[in-house]
Amino acid sequence: MENLIKLDITVPEEMQDLATVALVTKLQYGWEEETLPTGDIRYRVYIENPAFCEEFLTELRTHVPEARVERDEVENQNWAMAWREFFTPVKVGGLFMVIAPWMVDTIDLEGRLPIIIEPKTAFGTGHHPTTALCLACVSKLAEEGRVREGMRFFDIGTGSGILGIGCAKLGLKGLGVDIDTLAVENSEENRVINDVAALFDVAKGSADYTDDTFDVVLANILAQPLKDLATEIIARVASGGCLVLSGLLATQADSVEEAYVAQGLPAARREVEGEWAALIWERL
């Protein structure tokens, strides 16, 4: 088994937003982030594929030439145990808790719905703030009665399947799509672990995968694809349905919202968590 490449990336605090854009653009999974005593920000990333590692570093240096990178290798076989050392349950919104499979029989869910995600080197676990923010929006809409059992959902850019699983746990039925084959495989694995395969289908594709319309449409991708796909995404929302867009920095929210308003939508409700934002249209 080949070793993993471990990258420790350090950037000045004022470059944090730019570095985050590079990470989100190239990596479809989470990373460790730490503020150092100097005030600099350090990101720790694990990558399996050496060629992809070079692509990622090229993207990073395009955005942040000042980034300092330390490179090392770690044994791939120890990855699962490494997750156990630092993986913590994530409370999201008022309804969900993201946990790992080994926590199922030991964790106090505090009355929350468990979303079980098998940690991988390639996909996120709910620790990433954009995923947590989008899932929190689903939680809030459910608590407000806008997302209800029996509705149909469409999760664009499903990744690990975490958002689709959350919807299925609320009694919705729907579809998740992703352009990445590995993401589709990971989502399929996680929907089985969560016993929601009957409610949550997964396929390779994007917003134009289906002509169907849905009561709830979620798109947790990136700002530019959200703008590029505005017409297709809006077309998937059923009359009276709701739309949640995430995966964008708070500084990008205005331009994304403008792209959707230009298509005839009203102003969005906005949820902000730190430097990240989500846009919500509650009834279209």
Kindly state whether residue 84 falls inside one of the protein's structural domains: no
Question: pLDDT by residue (tens digit) across 172-197?
Answer: 999 999 988 878 888 999 999 999 99
**Owning domain of residue 273:** 125-281
pLDDT exceeds 70 at position 165: yes
Same domain, 242 and 130: yes
| Residue 50 CA to its chain's centroid (Å) | 24
Same domain, 71 and 183: no
Q: What's the rounded mean pLDDT across residues 198-202?
A: 97
Round to whole Å and give the CA distance between 232 and 198. 26
Same domain, 220 and 163: yes
Give the helix, strand, coil percentages of the chain, each rounded to 5.
35, 30, 35
Please tell me the predicted confidence (pLDDT) of residue 78.
56
Kindly state whether residue 38 falls inside one of the protein's structural domains: yes
Same domain, 71 and 192: no
CATH number, domain of 148, equals: 3.40.50.150
Same domain, 67 and 134: no
Same domain, 20 and 157: no
Q: How many domains does the chain have?
A: 2
Q: What's the rounded mean pLDDT across residues 195-204?
A: 96
Kindly state whether residue 185 falls inside one of the protein's structural domains: yes
Same domain, 40 and 137: no
Kindly state whether residue 217 falls inside one of the protein's structural domains: yes
Round to whole Å and give the CA distance between 221 and 130. 9
Token representation of residue 277? 């934002």
Phi, psi angles (nearest 5°) of residue 248: -120, 145
Question: pLDDT by residue (tens digit) across 18-50?
Answer: 887 777 767 655 677 778 888 888 888 888 778
Kindly state whether residue 86 falls inside one of the protein's structural domains: no
Query: Which of 19, 49, 77 is the endpoint of a domain?
Result: 77
Q: 2: pLDDT confidence band, cut at 50, 70 and 90?
A: low
pLDDT exceeds 60 at position 14: yes
* Average pLDDT in the chain: 87
Same domain, 45 and 165: no
Same domain, 163 and 274: yes
CATH number, domain of 68, equals: 3.30.70.120
Residues 6+ apart with CB under 8 A from 177: 154, 155, 156, 157, 158, 202, 203, 204, 205, 206, 207, 209
Q: Which DSSP string corresponds to 220-248?
A: ES-HHHHHHTHHHHHHTEEEEEEEEEEEE
Same domain, 29 and 168: no
Kindly state whether residue 105 falls inside one of the protein's structural domains: no
Diameter over CA atoms, the chain: 52
Kindly state whether residue 26 falls inside one of the protein's structural domains: yes
Rounded to 10 deg, the angle between the 181-193 and 162-169 helix axes is: 30
CB 279 within 8 A of CB 257: yes
Same domain, 273 and 162: yes
Kindly state whether residue 93 falls inside one of the protein's structural domains: no
Question: pLDDT by residue (tens digit) across 205-261?
Answer: 999 999 999 999 999 988 888 999 999 999 999 999 999 999 888 889 999 999 999
Same domain, 68 and 155: no
